[in-house]
């Protein structure tokens, strides 16, 4: 599925984020940036030791922020390591930290002159964020960012399984039908 925002495309695809050829892929990282399970482990395994070496030098990353490293052996030139929140009850700042992780990733892509970036569904795996709540936050954050920053041409959400893809697709249909919000509301 594809949706246009200003001069950029937002795409939803089902697949393996480690196989994306965008300028950068986003890693759903842990605060230590040392690899782990799920998307994080897959990216570190596919990208090779260069990624882990750079992550060690970065000294970690707090939830809601992101850091950038080489892509190692990946098709993507860079990996943006975004640390989303662990989900507790949704009232402990999780929505704000999740949105911030996406915004910081997009800002890093812009700062490095990148034109395309692929995201997983941050925090919805081991961190327990309900995908039905996370998808609208992720998509709205990306759409709002693209409306204000014209540098990126493609933002792709690479969703691992059919149920996650279906939730993102429904959320994107809902957001696409909404009128653009005034700048002060973004």
| Active-site residue, 40 included | yes
Report d(CA 186, CA 37) in Å as an integer.
33
**What one-character-per-residue DSSP string does 111-178 give?**
HTT--EEEE--TTSSTT---HHHHHHHHHHHHHHHHHH-----EEEEEESSHHHHHHHHHHHHHHHHS
Choose the catalytic residue: 16, 21, 40, 144: 40
Q: Is the CB of residue 115 less than 8 Å from the CB of residue 150?
A: no
Residue 35 backbone dihedrals phi, psi, to 5 degrees: 85, 175
Which residues are known catalytic residues? 40
């Amino acid at each position: 599925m594809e949706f246009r925002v200003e001069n950029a495309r937002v795409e939803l695809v089902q697949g393996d984020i480690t196989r994306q050829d965008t300028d950068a892929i986003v890693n759903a990282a842990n605060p230590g940036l040392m690899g782990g399970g799920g998307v994080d482990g897959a990216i570190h395994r596919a990208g090779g030791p260069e990624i882990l070496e750079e992550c060690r030098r970065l000294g970690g990353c707090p939830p809601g922020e992101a850091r950038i490293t080489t892509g190692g052996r990946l098709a993507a030139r860079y990996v943006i390591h975004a640390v989303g929140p662990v989900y507790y009850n949704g009232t402990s700042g999780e929505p704000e930290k999740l949105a911030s992780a996406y915004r910081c990733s997009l800002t890093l892509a812009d700062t490095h002159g990148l034109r395309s970036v692929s995201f997983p569904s941050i925090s919805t795996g081991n961190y327990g964020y309900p995908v039905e709540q996370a998808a609208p936050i992720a998509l709205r954050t990306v759409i709002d960012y693209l409306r204000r920053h014209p540098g990126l041409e493609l933002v792709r959400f690479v969703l691992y399984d059919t149920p996650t893809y279906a939730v993102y697709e429904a959320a994107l249909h809902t957001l696409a039908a909404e009128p653009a919000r005034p700048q002060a509301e973004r």
